[in-house]
Structure 1
Amino acid sequence: MLLRSVTADPADLDRAVAYPADAPVSPVPALTAERVREELAENRCRPEWTWIAEDEDGRILARALWWGRADSERPVALDCLQVHEDVPDPAAVAAALLEAGRTAFGAHPGYNLSLPRDWRADPALAAAVAWRREAARRAGLTSEIERLRYEWTLPQLPPGVPPAAVIAEPTGRLVFREGTDEEFLDVFGRLSRGSLDVNTRQELAGMTEEEFAREDFAFYSDCPGERSWWRLAHLPDGTLAGMAIPSATPYHRNVGYLGVVPEQRGRGLIDEILAEITRFHAAAGAERITATTDTVNVPMAAAFDRAGYEVTEIRLVLEAPSR
């Protein structure tokens, strides 16, 4: 079996792109050949990030597609992992492909599986997830986080009605303002205390609060959303309550980060902060806003539910353990 990345040669690339993505586990929206070509054109997928396993006759047995932002030096995540249905041990072939990619990239991007909420009740889908999890485990992606992916969509509006009109007006419980980098770094650290976010808890096991804050600040600064969108949230008397970070992906607006500082939790202020982010995006003309939260973060999930966000999928995230 030959494991390799595809080349920029049109025939080689077209062959890999045309490999059918008809497995039960597939990214959403569907990973059609047309969509892969669009991602290649935008430099979010690249020939050197597209890996295949071939038998001695040159038949493709498996395909792995890694994804990154247009300016990424290395892939950010594994977007798709497929093995031909007649391969007797798909986990072994897939694990070898993941290991070859990791060696080539000098990094270990996580694997995001997009699944329906009831995926465990579908035997074929559960089996397809099982061998992928096993392949990821063999390749070192042993940390698992299950997340809810939410989506807010703009309802149909009468002519002349602005999008912001469908969002509740501010209640006055919080005042939002811009802040300095130093202020946001401080709030990132404070929000990490007692966080229910699985990744946050894992990261804090191996780094200081200040180090974690700087990594989070750098991550959100690097997202397609603008730094000027960020807001600190205060009570009317000036007491810090939390922060709101409207952000974006290469495809749409999203809820980047939001939170309430520990001493103000339990007062329903998260609803006010989420509403501010939704208002911000709607006022800018966004017709769809996405968000994610861990399934174990029940309070955050409840806030999305109250705000009219709907669960569109389960995202199973397989990653290397944090240091």
Structure 2
Amino acid sequence: MHATFRPITGPDELPLFLQLTYDLDDEVADDLERGNRRPEWIWIAEHDGTVVARAAWWSRPGASEPYLMDFFDFADGHAETAETLVRTAMEKVVPHGSVPPEYLRFIPPDWQRDPAAVQQRMAVLERLGARLLVERLRLEWRPGTPVAPDDGRLRFRGFTGAEEALELMTRTVEGTLDAHNRADLTRMSPRAVAEEHFHGELERWPSPQEWWRVGTRPDGEPVGFVFPARNDYGPIIAYIGVLPGHRGHGYIDAILAEGTRVLAAHDIPRIRANTDVGNVPMARAFARHGYVNYQNQIDMTWAPSVAG
């Protein structure tokens, strides 16, 4: 079978791209309008007017390069076509010499009961040089879920400024169980990891920074922090951490409860958060506070040798 590999020409061709289906389909049009996507980042493999494979990339508005790959689908029997599509698209989408952005995919929490679809997709990308970095839990708190009362162990205040946020984030990276941070620490200093996350994401959210909280002991010593926020898609617990030396004492419960309270005080449809499957203490804390595991996700990274 001979397929045509190309990006869509514009929003008018979205119906072609949407011939295959995925959870994020209803966000693509708005993402294009906001600038999170560009037509040249949305690729299809077409045969006789039928799309048999597709791939797409996402980024922050105004960015010149994609931040992540979040669409990759193919019809039954078209794995080789899908492989060729991604290889062809990356030559155009990924700047020459750059490592391709991570691939992120939302999957059912019980996907391992019938793993074929997930494993087939991963196998295609592995042939192109990708590898699994981590599986994550996607969590959701819904209005009406009880919020734990303040137990009085901690006091909460705002950050004194960006420097305090960076300093506390830098300290929290020590001993982290987060797979992304651990991978970043192989090539960056703890301060650089904190700066990339703070300046690259937290500062960019449209929600007020007054929502951010530092938890302290009664004597004023910081114990941990939480960044309740609202991104382009809704309310989130964007970042949460307990400082080394204070871990293992249950402080995460008070800090998560405070972050939940901040967001729940507004008219919200839900709060979302995520954590690595392997970060058992954090996953248990979310569960204690009524956060439901409604979905999982897989994150795959690419070896530098894949760069064009």
Q: Could you tell me the TM-score, scaled by structure 2's length? A: 0.88
Candidates 44, 47, 53, aligned match of 2:36: 44
Name 1:221's counterpart in structure 2. 203
Could you tell me whether the CA contact under 8 Å between 1:66 and 1:79 is conserved in 2? yes
Candidates 129, 135, 154, aligned match of 2:124: 135
Matched, 1:101 2:82: no
- Where 2:299 maps in the other structure, the secondary structure is strand
Name 1:190's counterpart in structure 2. 171
Q: Which amino acid counterpart does residue 178 of structure 1 have in structure 2?
A: G
Gaps of 5+ in 1: 157-165
Candidates 146, 168, 180, aligned match of 2:148: 168
Could you tell me whether the CA contact under 8 Å between 2:109 and 2:296 is conserved in 1? yes
Could you tell me whether the CA contact under 8 Å between 2:213 and 2:259 is conserved in 1? no
Q: Which 4+ residue blocks in structure 1 deviate beyond 4 angstroms?
A: none
Q: Which amino acid counterpart does residue 116 of structure 1 have in structure 2?
A: P
Distance 2:15 2:289 in 1: 45
Distance 2:181 2:303 in 1: 12
Distance 1:303 1:316 in 2: 21
Name 2:234's counterpart in structure 1. 252
Candidates 189, 193, 204, aligned match of 1:208: 189
Could you tell me whether the CA contact under 8 Å between 2:8 and 2:14 is conserved in 1? no
**How many percent of aligned residue pairs carry the same amino acid?**
35
Q: Give the Å deviation of 1:145.
A: 0.7
User: Aligned pairs, how many?
Assistant: 297
Q: Per the alignment, do residues 216 and 41 of structure 1 end up closer, same or farther by CA in structure 2, a change over 3 Å counting? A: closer
Gaps of 5+ in 2: none
Q: Per the alignment, do residues 45 and 195 of structure 1 end up closer, same or farther by CA in structure 2, a change over 3 Å counting? A: same
Q: Which amino acid counterpart does residue 19 of structure 2 have in structure 1?
A: Y
Q: Per the alignment, do residues 6 and 232 of structure 1 end up closer, same or farther by CA in structure 2, a change over 3 Å counting? A: same
Name 2:17's counterpart in structure 1. 17
Name 1:81's counterpart in structure 2. 72
Q: Could you tell me the TM-score, scaled by structure 1's length? A: 0.84
Name 2:259's counterpart in structure 1. 277
- Where 1:146 maps in the other structure, the secondary structure is strand
Q: Give the Å deviation of 1:170.
A: 2.1
CA deviation vs aligned residue, 1:264-298 (integer Å, no higher than 9, x gap): 11110000110011000011222300000000000
Matched, 1:294 2:282: no
